[in-house]
Structure formats: C-alpha cells, structure tokens
Amino acid sequence: MPFLVEEDDKKQKAYESLLISDPKLLSYLSSELALRVIKVLSKQPSCAMDVARKLKEHEQKIYYHLRNLERVGLVKLLKTEERVGAIAKIYAVNYPVVSFKLFDGKEIIDKKTKAKELKFLGPFIKDGKLDATIIIGSPDPHGKYGAQASDGCCAIDLALFLGSLVKESILPNYKLDTEIKEKDLKNNLILVGGPKTNIVVDKVNKRLPIYFDFYREWNIVSPFSKNVYTGDEIGVVEKIKNPFDQNKQVLVFAGKRFKGTRAAILSLVKNLGEIEKGNKFDSSIIAKVVQGIDKDSDGRIDEAEFLE
C-alpha cells in the first residue's frame, strides 16, 4: 500500500495514499465542489442529500461528483439507510492523499517507514510509545485449569517486532496473567496464549469472533467457516474492542498449544498484510486462523499458513 510521508525535525507522519495509474483521473479533482464534498465526507460519512444541505448545493450536483469520486476509488459506499421510505446511500472517504508516479526514479533505500505496521497497531502504539500491556500466562500451575504456560517465550519475537516500532519503552511492558488487577483490564491489551494457560484470554474468549471451546479437549471454533480446528499447530490472531473498556482494544495471539501460539505471532511478524484483509468470510473483522509449518524440518514452527 502506498503512503505519503511528511517529516520534520521532531516527527514523521505517514498517510495512506490512492496511487492512480491514469493521470486523467486527476481531472475529477479539478472541481472546487468535488474537493468540498471530500472535506465534508472526511469529517463524517454522509449521503448526497446531507452533503447538499451542508454545502447549500443541488443534490444532483453532489450525486454527480460522488459517482466520479467513487469511480476513481477516493470515496466508497459505506452502507445504506432507510429514510422516510427511501434508501439513502452513505459514503465515506477512502484516502486523504492521491498520488501519481511519473516514472521509476531514484528511490530512498536507506530508510524504511513502517507505516503499515503502525496503522494496524495504532491503538497499541501512541506517540512512539507502547500504549498497551502484554499479558502472558504464568509458567506456574494456576487458574481453574491448573495449567502451566509455555507460550511466554513466543512473546520474545512479538516484543522484538514491537520494539522496532517504538522510540522509547517504559518498563515493564508485560505482566503475568496472575498479576493482573481489575484496573489493568481497562487498558489496551496484547494477550499471548490460549484460555487454558492465560486467565485473561479465558475472560475474553466468548467475546472473540473465533473462539476456543472445550469438549474433551480444547478446540478452535469458527462461526464464519463452521469449522472446528483440532490441530496443535493451529492458532488465531484477533483484534477486538476491549470488553472491559470499549475505548480500548485487545489483540490476541493464541493457539491450542505452544505451536499454535507461535504460528499466530509469526503470521503478524511475517505477513501483516494478510491479517489486515480480515477474515476470509468477513473482511470487516480481524480474526484469522493460521497453521504453523515446520518448513526446514528442524522441529520448530518457522512459517504460518492462513486458513481463513
């Protein structure tokens, strides 16, 4: 995905950009009214009638520009609403920036802005600092299942990945699930391990789009595909609103066992773009099922394949 990067002495800002291949499409932005429509939609998704009222323009003019902007890909149809017996189309802006590459020139190769990673992890990283608590299962027997967690070492790869995105760190960045207090649950949370070994994952399990269920043994259940995943190397990556505070978010890396949790973390580190696409059956929901693969046959999971 293309990004526009703005940089000054203090910080760097990156914006998603629509990269167009035909310069003629830029003509749709030559209209002052089209730009005004974009500015209105950037503040709040609206229908043509609402935009027309705000700009004091005829509704048909607004429809004309909306169709052109949708054709280019700058705006998208977000949803429809029933209003006084009619169906209103609600539009939203897709990108704050439009770009057109004139030719393949000299690229900057000495610096990489990890804009895609920061966008996905935006709620968990703020102003260059980790704004979340990483919670791993205790290695001691604990919780109602009396389990000992071995997933904690998987979090090392996750920590190294997050460390490449933050400028400074306030220690400690993690807590054991046995150390968590009620107030801690109201932060942004990054949870590592399944519900058997991580008490906090057990607390949010039934809120997960793809959840863990116990019948003779723990399995992963997907309401989207109607599949029940039973393999030890199966894991999930899921991002949801924090059920303890709706203004915060929860990111879960969990597997039936160690192999599944490792696969979940590897999928983020190696293929974030696929996670961003959302579930195979509902792209609006970040809930992916992955399978760990021992590609070099050394007994360790080193790749993750997406199942849905």
Name beta bridge partners: 237.
Answer: 253, 288
Query: Average pLDDT, stretch 277-290?
Result: 94
Model confidence, pTM: 0.68
Cα separation, 128 vs 142, in Å, equals 35
What is the per-residue pLDDT across 11-35, written as a single tens digit (0 to 9) for each? 667 777 888 888 887 888 889 999 9
pLDDT confidence of residue 114:
67
* pLDDT of res. 208: 97
Output the pLDDT for position 7: 65
The domain locations on the chain are 3-98, 115-306
What whole-number distance in Å separates Cα of residue 2 and Cα of residue 18? 7
Segment 127-154, tens digit of pLDDT:
888 999 999 999 999 999 999 998 888 8
- Spatial distance between the Cα atoms of 194 and 199, rounded to a whole number of angstroms: 9
Q: Is 115-306 assigned to CATH 3.30.379.10? A: yes
- Per-residue model confidence as pLDDT tens digits over 218-232: 999 999 999 999 999
pLDDT at 205 over 90: yes
Yes or no: say if 131 and 146 are a contact pair by the CB < 8 Å rule. Answer: no
Residues in the chain: 308
> What mean pLDDT do residues 245-256 have?
96
Burial-class residue 132 by CB neighbours within 10 Å (0-12, 13-18, 19+): buried
Residue 42 to residue 30: CA distance in whole angstroms? 18
> 108: pLDDT confidence band, cut at 50, 70 and 90?
low
Q: What is the mean pLDDT of residues 264-272?
A: 94
The answer to whether residue 110 scores a pLDDT higher than 60 is no
The reported pLDDT for the residue numbered 151 is 83
- Percentage of the residues of the chain whose pLDDT score is greater than 70: 92
Residues in a beta bridge with 282: 279
In terms of DSSP bridges, do strands 234-242 and 287-293 run parallel, antiparallel, or are they unpaired? antiparallel
* DSSP characters over the chain: --EEEEE-SS-EEEEEEEE-S-GGGGGGGS-HHHHHHHHHHHHS-B-HHHHHHHHT--HHHHHHHHHHHHHHTSEEEEEEEEETTEEEEEEEE--SEEE---S--PPP-S----HHHHHHTGGGEETTEE-SEEEE--SSSBTTTTB---GGGGHHHHHHHHHTT-SB--S--EEEGGG--GGGGGS-EEEES-TTT-HHHHHHGGGSSSEEEEESEEEEEETTTTEEE--TTEEEEEEEEETTEEEEEEEEEEESSHHHHHHHHHHHHH-HHHHHT-BTTBTTS-EEEEEEE-TTSSSS--EEEE--
pLDDT of 11: 65
pLDDT value for 195 = 96
CATH 1.10.10.10 fits 3-98, yes or no: yes
Residue type, 226: K
Give 21-80 pLDDT, tens digit per residue.
888 878 888 899 999 999 999 999 999 999 999 999 999 999 999 999 998 889 999 999
Task: Single out the residue of 185, 194, 176, 183 nearest to residue 248, CA to CA.
Answer: 185
Residue 272's alpha-carbon distances to 119, 121, 304, in angstroms, are 11, 10, 11
Q: How far apart are CA 212 and CA 238, in angstroms?
A: 12
Q: Is the pLDDT of residue 111 over 60?
A: no
pLDDT of 186 reads 95
pLDDT at 289 over 80: yes
Q: Supply the pLDDT for residue 2.
A: 76
Tell me the residue type at 87: I
- Decide if pLDDT at 264 tops 60: yes
Query: Mean pLDDT of all residues in the chain?
Result: 89
